[in-house]
A and B are shown apart, each in its own frame.
Chain A
């Protein structure tokens, strides 16, 4: 609630359509078809948690959204625009790298292993995108970065280097770094899987706040409790397809599909 400014932007380009619109997404690695036709829409302000066993393709799908992996077939639009392509004369054309980079900047991503830049301090990590990529005024970017740090509970750590922080703190800095680009959509790729158990809570708490503030989020995680408390919708994936989806109460407490039941049984 504190910094509404960072969330305003999600309204802009999206208009009234869904923020994420993925249709028939296919992806293979060699002979292994990891994604076998994924359809998923995420509305503005919605938090979608994607669950599924390892190897179900959920991380790959997330990485296809900002084109860290190219898709083999299908179409993914964010805010009504294709991420890596543009339509010319009724056909899709691959974008120039600079334009692709610009569109990626509208999609925030938080990685399992944080991937903070170890040679830059916390503040430099956060303003690298706004200043270096968007050409924002430095003083303004620092102000924004400081309010973001306050929001993730790390005020005063501007000058620390990533290695001086705990895993949970690093991940919260990574969240702040992604938020600094004022993304329309935030992707979380197993954000707590690399953390010590006692540090998971602080990251999930930060993410819950973001969900409550109305950020549009797609979260791949194994934290069922987070899905229950923060998700507007839970999507269960297995073997490259979406098996079932719906409100957390429905999918988690009353799963319809055998594979969902078998997966959830392991967490009871």
Chain B
């Protein structure tokens, strides 16, 4: 790679040799990346060491309880609650979103107030509130508003921990889903509705055939996130004595004092469920976001280690003009 002398008539624009190419450039060192990687490795080693050597984890207890029947029952309650609360949340969310976008100011402001209340107060407080509903309304009746009552229920017997949990989580989720659905509906260009109307479609048909299918791209991925959040939010119901996964392990360690291993049992199951959901979720997200994908650099490339002496691509010889 020596500099070839330029002939008298042909003057080089720069003094660089003509074969210089960025692919051969020496790479700038990044010492901080090495230091950072080193620190993290040491911390990881410490963590693994503690997991293995610290006897208080009592891994044998963890494995003994992991698939115990009572734990499975608690897991079942957690899953059931997640599904029911999400179904209520989605149905309610669609209704609230439609109300919020409605031209009727009474409907839209009522939906607004609902969302304001349920998003503005802690889920935990709402759960305890529903659990103690009998203190507010000792009896619940079905009948004509302000008129005769047909059936009267005693609130204390009607509102079981399960129903309080379903109400608390479902009504709360409805407020969040409403915002997601509304965002999705608003993302569809108004011209789409006009085009549907122009070929004689009714509003319902436009919603079903044109708007909703397009809004789904914006509704489905965040709904997946909500499901994952809901799995974890169900742990809140342990405060109202519903025997979900967390409440079950609490009941066991209150008896055996194996607090840490039992909490690890719960964590393992939560991680298993959420990991499965994450996989499903990212599949769905990939489905809805074709194109514009980020290319990730490998760890070795990040540390700027590159195999030396990589074969150079054939030099471009054709089409070069002087």
Residues of chain A touching chain B, judged by Cβ–Cβ distance below 8 Å, are 66, 68, 97-98, 101-109, 111, 113, 115-119, 128-129, 132-134, 174, 177-178, 181
Which chain B residues lie closer than 8 Å to A102 at the CB level?
200
The secondary-structure label for the interface of chain B is helix
Q: Would you call A97 and B194 a contact (CB within 8 A)?
A: no
Distance of A177 Cα from B192 Cα, bound (Å): 13
Given contacts A118-B214, A119-B214, A128-B209, contact A177 B199 (CB under 8 A): yes
Report Cα–Cα, A68/B193, bound state, in Å. Answer: 10
A-B contact pairs, 16 of them (CB 8 A): A68-B197, A98-B202, A101-B200, A101-B201, A102-B200, A105-B200, A108-B198, A111-B191, A111-B195, A115-B192, A115-B194, A128-B201, A129-B200, A132-B205, A134-B200, A181-B200
> Which of A66, A98, A115, A117: most chain B Cβ within 10 A?
A115
Other A-B pairs, 12, CB within 8 Å; known A102-B200, A119-B213, A133-B205: A68-B194, A97-B202, A105-B200, A107-B198, A111-B191, A117-B192, A117-B196, A117-B210, A118-B214, A128-B209, A132-B201, A133-B199
Q: Which residues on B sit within 8 Å (CB–CB) of A103? A: 200
Known interface pairs A128-B209, A133-B205; A115-B191 also in contact (CB < 8 Å) = yes
Query: Within 8 Å CB of B201, what residues of A?
Result: 101, 128-129, 132-133
Residues on the A chain within 8 Å of B213, using CB: 119
Tell whether, in the assembled complex, residue B195 and residue A181 are in contact, meaning their CB atoms are under 8 Å apart.
Answer: no
Pair B195/A117 contact, Cβ less than 8 Å:
yes
> Which B residues, 162 to 217, have Cβ-Cβ distances below 8 Å to chain A?
189, 191-192, 194-203, 205, 209-210, 213-214
Interface centre among A113, A128, A178 (most CB of B within 10 A): A128
Contacts of A107 in B (CB 8 A): 198
| A interface secondary structure, majority | mixed
- Set of chain B residues within 8 Å of A118, measured between Cβ atoms: 214
Q: What's the Cα separation between A133 and B196 when bound, in Å?
A: 10
**A97-B202, A97-B203 given; A113·B191 CB < 8 A:** yes
Tell me the complex Cα distance, A109–B198, Å: 6
Known contacts A111-B194, A117-B192: A101-B214 contact under CB 8 Å: no
- Bound Cα distance A134, B199 (Å): 10
**Contacting residues, chain A, for B191 (C-beta < 8 A):** 111, 113, 115
Residues in chain B near residue A133, CB distance under 8 A: 199-201, 205
Complex CA–CA separation, A181 to B214 (angstroms): 23
Contact (Cβ within 8 A) A129 B194? no
Q: Which A residues are in CB contact (< 8 Å) with B200?
A: 101-106, 129, 133-134, 181
Q: Determine if A128 and B199 form an interchain contact, defined as CB atoms under 8 angstroms apart.
A: yes
Q: How far is the CA of A101 from the CA of B214 in the complex (A)?
A: 22
Contacts of A97 in B (CB 8 A): 202-203
Q: In the bound complex, what is the Cα–Cα distance between A118 and B197 (angstroms)?
A: 16
